[in-house]
């Protein structure tokens, strides 16, 4: 009888010590989950601050960007760095009474002098390569236009149809109002990857 009583006492003691151990394990598990969730939320916020996405809707950037291309943009590109000729940017403009996102290529930087004549583009007197554009020419006439401080002169790669800085309806783009620089193409998967840089300094 004493042996049975001793076994019961030992079993009860074992159960009493097991309960706190289980609670401790649950507490550690909950803490790990909270930490992991916090990290995910922080990463999500950081990515949302730095990265955005857009879809191409028009044909003004043919042949390098086509309708429904899904692109990632760096929203902090010009807050942390400077624009470069050849950058592809997203900005918002009101065109014919409708505010919309536009995608264009940076052609001129603040202080640059832009001339367009005989289907050719000259920046600061230097003829520009147009082999990456759809037709290899730029229509219209611009005579020694100096890009104002804090502004960008932009054009589409499909120069014959693009509505861009050559038009008074668009004009130059305020750098501080650029929504982002295009950095990556998600779809179509056949073109998945970083964006080729055309139209920069030779």
**Any catalytic annotation for residue 25?**
no
From 23, 24, 60, 179, active-site residue:
60
DSSP single-letter state for residue 56: -
d(CA 79, CA 91): 14
- What are the CA-CA distances from residue 76 to residues 80, 118, 136 (Å)? 6, 37, 32
State the maximum Cα–Cα separation within the chain, in Å, rounded to a whole number: 113
**Any catalytic annotation for residue 60?**
yes
Query: Which residues partner with 182 through β-bridges?
Result: 73
Residue linked to tokens 């390569």 = 129
- What are the CA-CA distances from residue 67 to residues 32, 71, 118, 128, 167 (Å)? 44, 11, 29, 26, 22
From 93, 104, 162, 181, active-site residue:
104
Query: Which residues partner with 185 through β-bridges?
Result: 71, 193
| Phi/psi-derived region of residue 17, left when phi > 0, alpha when psi is between -120 and 50, beta in every other case | alpha
Residues catalogued as catalytic: 60, 104
């Amino acid at each position: 009888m004493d042996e049975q009583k001793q076994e019961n006492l030992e079993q009860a003691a074992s159960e009493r010590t097991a309960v706190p151990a289980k609670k401790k394990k649950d507490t550690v598990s909950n803490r790990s989950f909270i930490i992991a969730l916090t990290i995910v939320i922080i990463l999500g916020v950081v990515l949302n601050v730095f990265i955005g996405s857009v879809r191409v809707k028009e044909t003004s950037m043919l042949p390098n960007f086509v309708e429904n291309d899904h692109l990632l943009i760096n929203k902090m590109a010009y807050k942390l760095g400077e624009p470069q000729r050849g950058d592809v940017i997203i900005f918002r403009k009101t065109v014919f009474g409708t505010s919309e996102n536009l995608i264009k290529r940076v052609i001129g930087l603040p202080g640059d002098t832009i001339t367009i004549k005989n289907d050719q583009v000259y920046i600061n007197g230097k003829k520009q390569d147009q082999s990456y554009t759809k037709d290899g020419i730029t229509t219209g006439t611009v005579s020694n236009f100096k890009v104002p401080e804090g502004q960008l002169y932009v054009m589409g790669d499909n120069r014959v149809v693009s509505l861009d800085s050559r038009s008074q309806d668009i004009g130059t783009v305020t750098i501080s109002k650029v929504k982002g620089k295009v950095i990556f193409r998600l779809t179509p998967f056949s073109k998945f990857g970083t964006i080729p840089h055309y139209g920069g300094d030779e």
